[in-house]
Amino acid sequence: QGSLVGVELMRARHDAAEAAARVADAEIRKMCTFKCEDALTTDLTTASKIFLNNTAFPPALTTAFAQALTPERTPKLQAIATCQPLPKNILGGDKADLKLMTITAVKAGWAPSGTPMFVYHRRGYGWTTDEGEDSKGAVVDDEAKKMMASRVASV
């Protein structure tokens, strides 16, 4: 069975996550731990999947996170999902070794019609050739297409 580790820099958000976990099902509670730490410096050596809610991050902070995802720092990383795209110049094999595979949409309280979700895979987990990170476009799934259509219709 896997485990879930939430890392939050802000004490209030960390406390809110712990409070939410206390009312979750027992199975979920057993799997969850929370750290009030800086995700840029916390130990990520056991992370296999990461969700980065960078919706409101300034570009420099998103870049800093992408730069922190080196294979040496995240040796078990298979995939990362983000709310804003990672900078293309950080994705290559000599850096994060990630490729954008899917753009989807998920519902969020701040975006009733959905918000984008960018899903990247590390080489060996969904892509294995030396095609390069930009040789094929990411798949834009039906959820993302519906979200984009509803946003256009509401303008």
Token pair belonging to 112: 């009733």
- Residue-wise pLDDT tens digits, 5-17: 999 999 999 999 9
Question: Which pTM was predicted?
Answer: 0.81
Q: With 70 as the cut, is the pLDDT of residue 153 above it?
A: no
Give CA–CA dist 91/141, Å, rounded.
21
pLDDT band at 137 (very low <50, low <70, confident <90, very high): low
Torsion sign across C-alpha atoms 126, 128, 130, 131:
negative
Quick one: pLDDT at residue 136? 53
Quick one: pLDDT at residue 1? 61
Quick one: pLDDT at residue 129? 57
Count CB neighbours of 67 within 10 A: 15
Quick one: pLDDT at residue 89? 87
**What SS3 class is residue 52?**
strand
- 139-140 vs 98-108, strand pairing mode: parallel
